[in-house]
Chain A
Amino acid sequence: QAGLTQPPSVSKGLRQTATLTCTGNSNNVGNQGAAWLQQHRGHPPKLLSYRNNNRPSGISERLSASRSGNTASLTITGLQPEDEADYYCSAWDSSLRVWVFGGGTKLTVL
């Protein structure tokens, strides 16, 4: 079961903007959009956004998500040290009837 494609790493400076990408196909990301999860080392994943740009309560407005075709994006503005983490995208594949995850992007805040 092929997963979603994410760049392994992204590095940006403090207070800069980072955009993370996640590419799937028309059966998953292109169908119902993607969710984004943040994971700090030693902790479970935390939902940041779902169905492209719905944020759970308590999630910073510095985060915004979008989708164009089969690619989803997560943009984080005004990067802070606490944004340094691993970020995963996920989506339901309506053809395979499985959940698929991206391999994760390690965001480094310089």
Chain B
Amino acid sequence: EVQLLESGGGLVQPGGSLRLSCAASGFTFSSYAMGWVRQAPGRGLEWVSSISGSGRDTFYADSVKGRFTISRDNFKNTLYLQMNSLRAEDTAEYYCAKDSGTYDFWGQGTLVTVST
């Protein structure tokens, strides 16, 4: 059974940093691209970033480019999102998702709140 478990969310001040993690199990992690998608309170889904199975290729939404870094550790079956220079508009539930050509499995999400 595919399982994705996010962690690392919390309250952070504007300009601060957080690192999200997503522990994966139930599939061959290194064989699949992975992604992060966020959802601001009461809003729709917004793609944030994707990474290839090897970790060699990464992609970012314009809204986070230069501030967020996606990475993965295929030995630990874990996906990461390093978030720097956080802004109020980054406040959202952050989901990690398995990419098999589409986002077919999603984690439960971790909430990031950027506020003073």
Contact = CB atoms under 8 A, between A and B. Distances in A.
Classify chain B: how many residues form its interface, as a range. 20 to 34
Contact of B104 (A1, A56, A98, A103): A56
Interface string B88-116: 00000001000001111111110000000
Given A50-B101, A51-B101, A98-B59, A88 B44 contact: yes
Given A44-B95, A45-B95, A98-B59, A90 B102 contact: yes
Given A98-B61, A99-B47, A44 B35 contact: no
Most B CB atoms within 10 A — which of A45, A51, A90? Answer: A45
Classify chain A: how many residues form its interface, as a range. 20 to 34
B62 interface: yes
B102 A35 contact: yes
Contacts of A102: 44
A103 B112 CA distance: 21
A44 B61 contact: no
Contact of B109 (A44, A50, A98): A44
Nearest to A33: B102
B73 interface: no
* Chain B interface, >50% SS class: strand
A37 B37 CA distance: 13
Interface in B48-75: 50, 59, 61-62
A99 B58 CA distance: 12
Nearest to A47: B104
A88 B39 CA distance: 12
B11 interface: no
Contacts of A18: none
Contacts of A103: 44
Interface string A5-38: 0000000000000000000000000000001010
Contacts of B61: 1, 98
Contacts of B44: 86, 88, 101-104
B47 A98 contact: yes
Interface in B10-39: 35, 37
